[in-house]
Chains A and B, each alone.
Chain A
Amino acid sequence: MKVVFERSKGLLNTETHYCPGCTHGIIHRLVAETLEEMDVLEQTIGVASVGCSVLSYQYFNCDMTQAAHGRAPAVATGIKRVLPKDRIVFTYQGDGDLASIGMGEIVHAAARGENITVIFVNNAIYGMTGGQMAPTSLLGQRTATSPEGRQPQTQGLPIRVSEMLATLDGASYIERVSTHDVAHVMKAKKAIRKAFLTQQEEKGFSMVEVLSTCPTNWGLNPEESLQWVKQEMVPYYPLGVYKDRQYKGEES
C-alpha cells in the first residue's frame, strides 16, 4: 500500500490542546516538515513562548526550551550564541507575546542580526487568557478588553510588526504569510523554509509572520474564521516579503 499522508517526523505522536479550527496545528506542521526536509531536527532547539503555543515543547520532535512571556528572542540568543554554529534555533511566538510584552526583545534580536528564526503567529488576539485585545487587534475588533470594539482614540492602532522590523538593518529575511486557504498554506511553507535556510546559511535574523485564526475567541466557526483572516486581516496586514537581504551587511 502506498503511503499518501503521514505525520511529520518533526512532530511527536501526541494530541495537541489547540481548539478546533485554530491554525496553530497547520503552522506547527509547516515548521516540523521544514525541519524534517532540511534534515536538521537533531540539531534544532526550539523556544516556546507564553500564550497558546506555550505547550509547543510537547509537540515538536526536537529539543525545546520554554521561555518567560515575551523573552523567547533573548533565550534563543543565549542558546544560539553558546552552541556550535550548525545548531538551528527558532522561537515560536504569538502576537501578545511578541508584539506587546516582548517588543523590546524582538526588536533588539532583529537589530543585532541574531542568527535565529522567528515564527510569529498573528491572530490579532490573546487566545490563552480568554480573548483580550492584542497590539495587533484590528480597529473595531471586539475583544474581552475592548468590548465596544477597538477605538483608535483610546486603544491606539494595530502594529504591523513585519513592516517595522524590516526597517532594521540587522534583519535579513522577513515575510508575512497567511493560512486562510491551501494555496496560502503552501506559500507559508515556502517562506518558513526560506527563513530557516537564511539561518542555516548564517545570513542573520529571519522572521515569518503567519496570519492565523482564533475561532474560539473571535466567536466565529472555523470556516468563518478563515474568511475573517482573508477579508479583515489581510487588507490591514498585507502579505509579502518585507526584507530579503542576500548577504549580511548588504541589501538586495
Chain B
Amino acid sequence: MGKVLMKGNEVIGEAAILAGCHYFFGYPITPQSELVAYMAKRLPEVKGLFLQAESEVSAINMVYGASSAGVRVMTSSSSPGFSLKQEGISYLAAANLPAVIVNIARGGPGLGNIQPSQSDYFQVTKGGGHGDYYTPVLAPSTLQEIVDLTQEAFRIADQYRTPVILLGDGMLGQMMEPVEFLKTDNQIVIDKEWATTGTKGDGSPKTITSLDLNDVKLEERNCKLQEKYKLIRRNEIKVDTYLMEDAEMAIVAYGTVARICQSAIDRVRDEGMKIGLIRPISLWPYPTDVIASYCERLNKIVVVEMSAGQMVEDVRLSVEGKVPISFYGRTGGIIPTVEELVEQFQMHGNGVLR
C-alpha cells in the first residue's frame, strides 16, 4: 500500500479496521472528532457499523453490548467525555469484556480546553472508575506507532478479555504524518465461546454480569481479575529507550512530549552531556523494572509531562529513592518547546554529570 499522509485521529480509525474492528460507537468531542467522522465514512465501506450515540455514557454501553455479543469494538473520546465513559469501563473490566477505548486527551480539569494535555494519566493508569481494576494503557508517540499499538490494543483486549485504553493527546490526534498500514506479527483470533449471541447449538444459557451478591464469590472473582493483571504485568510491558547506553542523566517522558524531549536531548548531547530518554509505551503495566535497571548508572532523572506531575509518581516508585528526580511540566494545553527543554536539561544536568 505504501505510505499515505493522514491525520492522527484518522490513523487510529484505519488501524482499528486493519485490526478487524468493524464496530464503532462514538460521540463528538474535540480534539477526537475526526476519528468519529472517519469511522462514519469508512465502516460502511467494510460492511461494518458506525453509530453515533446520544452521549458518551450511551456509547460505552453500546460497546458493552457489542462486546458481550463477541465482536471487536471501539469507542473514543477526549478527557471530559472519557470521564463519562469511566463507569462503563469499570463494568467492562468487571465483566471481562474486551474493548478498545481511545482518549485523545485535552486540557483539564473540568471542561478545560481543546489543546493537548497529558493530565488524564492518573485516570487511565490507576483504574479510573470504581472498584479494584486496571486497564492496559498504550501511549503512541508517532502516527506510525498508532498503527501498531492500535492493533496491539485489540490483541491484548481479546487475549486477556479486558478493556484497553489507547491514550493520545490533541497534538497526536490532530497532526499529519506519512504512515504505512502494516499488520503486526502477533495477530490472534480468539474463539469467544463466552459471548451472549443466543444459545443456538451451544446448550445452556450464558450470562455476562459484573454482579455477585455473595461476598465470598465476589472476592474469588476479584482475585481472578488480579491474577489476570499479574499476567499482563508479566507479558505486556512496552518501553523504548534512546541513547541510554552511556547516559548519566535520563529523561522519562511518554507520548508526543517524548518526541520533543528527544530533539532536546540531541541538542544537549551535542554539547557533550550524557543524557538519554526512557519512553514508557505501556503506561499500565508500567516499565518499573526497566527504569530501575538504570538506577546504578544514573545521577539524575528528569520527568517531563504535559501535566502538573502525574507519571512522575510512577518513576519515583520505580527508582525507590536511589536517583534524584526532578519534574518539569506544562499544563492547560501548553506544549513545551525544544528550547525550553534544552534549558531545563542543561540546568538539571549541571553539576550532576561527570
Contact = CB atoms under 8 A, between A and B. Distances in A.
Contacts of B63: 78
B200 to A, nearest CB: 4
Interface in B294-348: none
B65 A47 contact: yes
A50 to B, nearest CB: 9
A58 B200 CA distance: 18
B206 A63 contact: yes
Interface in B62-88: 62-69, 71, 73, 87-88
Contact of B69 (A43, A57, A60, A83): A83
A82 B73 contact: yes
A65 B198 contact: no
Nearest to B88: A68
B154 interface: no
B198 A78 contact: no
A75 B198 contact: no
B290 interface: no
Contacts of B205: 12, 60-64
A78 B54 CA distance: 13
B208 A77 contact: no
A105 B56 CA distance: 11
Contacts of B51: 77, 81
Contact of A82 (B71, B199, B209, B210): B71
B196 interface: yes
Given A68-B61, A78-B65, A87-B197, A104 B73 contact: no
A234 interface: no
Nearest to B65: A78
Contacts of B209: 48, 57, 64-66
Given A61-B205, A81-B23, A104-B54, A75 B64 contact: yes
Interface string B82-118: 0000011001000100000000000000000000000
A45 B88 contact: no
A55 B210 CA distance: 11
From DSSP, what is the main secondary structure of chain A's interface residues? helix
Contacts of A64: 196, 205-209
Contacts of B73: 78, 82
Contacts of A81: 23, 49, 51, 62, 66
A82 B66 contact: yes
Nearest to A42: B200
Given A62-B205, A66-B207, A108-B54, A78 B199 contact: no
A41 interface: yes
B134 interface: no
Contacts of B69: 45, 78-79, 82-83
Interface residues of B, number: 38
Contact of B199 (A63, A65, A67, A68): A63
B176 interface: no
Contact of A74 (B53, B197, B198): B53
Interface string B195-225: 0111111000111111100000000000000
Interface in A61-98: 61-68, 71, 74-83, 87
B55 interface: yes
Contacts of A108: 53-54, 58
B207 A75 contact: no
Contacts of B232: none
B57 A62 contact: no
Contacts of B229: none
Given A45-B69, A62-B205, A68-B61, A78 B197 contact: no
B207 A65 contact: yes
A139 interface: no
A71 B57 contact: yes
A64 B61 CA distance: 15
B196 A45 contact: yes
A79 B196 contact: yes
Contact of B61 (A12, A57, A62, A105): A105
Contact of A65 (B53, B196, B200, B201): B196
Contact of B55 (A55, A67, A104): A104
A82 B49 contact: yes
B200 A79 contact: no
A94 B231 CA distance: 40
B121 interface: no
Interface string B26-70: 000000000000000000000001010111011101111111110
A247 B105 CA distance: 44
B289 to A, nearest CB: 36
A112 to B, nearest CB: 8
A44 interface: yes
Given A74-B58, A108-B58, A67 B206 contact: no
When A and B form their complex, which 8 residue pairs have the shortest distance between CB atoms, in order from nearest? A78-B65, A74-B61, A66-B209, A75-B65, A63-B196, A78-B66, A78-B62, A71-B61
Given A42-B201, A105-B61, 6 more contacts: A41-B199, A43-B198, A58-B207, A76-B65, A82-B23, A83-B197
